[in-house]
Amino acid sequence: MTQVNPYLIFNGTCEAAFLFYQSVFGGEFPYMGKFKDMPPSENCPPPSAEDANRIMHVSLPIGNTILMGSDSTSQSGDVVIGSNVSVSINTDSRAEADRLFNGLSAGGTIIMPMESTFWGAYFGMFTDKFGIHWMVNFDENPQK
């Protein structure tokens, strides 16, 4: 079944924010990775010293929802608070990911086309024609 979760983006305060959220909601982080943890690739240069310790991705389960987040980088620029929330969709299949991505992004702006990632997911991002930020994810190699 497709799952929809909020995704928050911060200007360098993601780790502090999620530690705060954890103190309120409880629970454990299944994953918290920093930009310095990313393997180098042709499409993604190594992070700057300023960005290396910023959060690349974090998730905190809260009931049936997963609150997710990351920091902006010097390459992406600071986010504007108020437009720093995305809707993240996790699907059960690659075909469903493509269907939702293609349908919702129609008339919008594709930020990252659907592609396989180093973290084992088939993933893409876009802003729809109404200005809403979306992320679509299918875990090809789910982490246990």
At 101-126, the pLDDT tens digits run: 999 999 999 999 999 998 899 999 99
Q: pLDDT per residue over 25-41, tens digit each?
A: 999 999 999 999 888 77
Asked if residue 44 lies in contact with residue 73, where contact means CB atoms within 8 angstroms, the answer is: no
Burial 11-49 (b: 16+ CB within 10 A, else e): eeebbebbeebbeeeeeeeeebebbeebeeeeeeeebee
Nearest alpha carbon to residue 28 among 3, 61, 54, 5:
61
Strands 31-34 and 109-116: unpaired
Strands 85-90 and 65-71: unpaired
pTM value is 0.76
Q: pLDDT per residue over 55-106, tens digit each?
A: 999 999 998 999 999 999 988 889 888 788 999 999 999 999 999 999 999 9
